[in-house]
Amino acid sequence: MITQTKQLDININIDTIQNMAKTEDILIQMKNNPTNVRFADLSKVCNYYFGKARHKEGSHHVYKTPWKGNPRINIQNYKGKAKVYQVKQVLLAIEKLEVEHATEG
């Protein structure tokens, strides 16, 4: 018999895996076509890699990064789409994160 806590843990893990898969799919689409990215998708990717936006005001979302000097990722909603240069900045930041994690392990 599965206890309520174990069932909850299993559901959370399944939800996490499904969310991760969706994020990876969006990331692949962003790399293939950075000119046609929905703002909601870019926001989802940023939330996954950088945590919740530190600042949300109007059409701008600002995310904190883990690097010295405290640089920020700033994305902007323009008619439901993300701006191309911001998509490219996010992709570069994610690549930098992945390289750093690969060298740590």
Please give the average per-residue pLDDT across 24-39, as a whole number: 93
- Using the 8-state DSSP alphabet, how is residue 37 labeled? -
Q: pLDDT by residue (tens digit) across 37-70?
A: 999 999 999 999 999 998 888 888 999 988 888 7
Q: Does position 19 have pLDDT exceeding 70, yes or no?
A: no
List, for residues 2-11, the tens digit of each pLDDT value.
555 555 455 5
**Residue 7: what pLDDT?**
53
Does the pTM of the predicted model rise above 0.85? Answer: no
State the Cα–Cα distance between residues 30 and 69, nearest whole angstrom. 27
**1 has a pLDDT exceeding 50:** no
* Structure confidence at residue 57 (pLDDT): 80
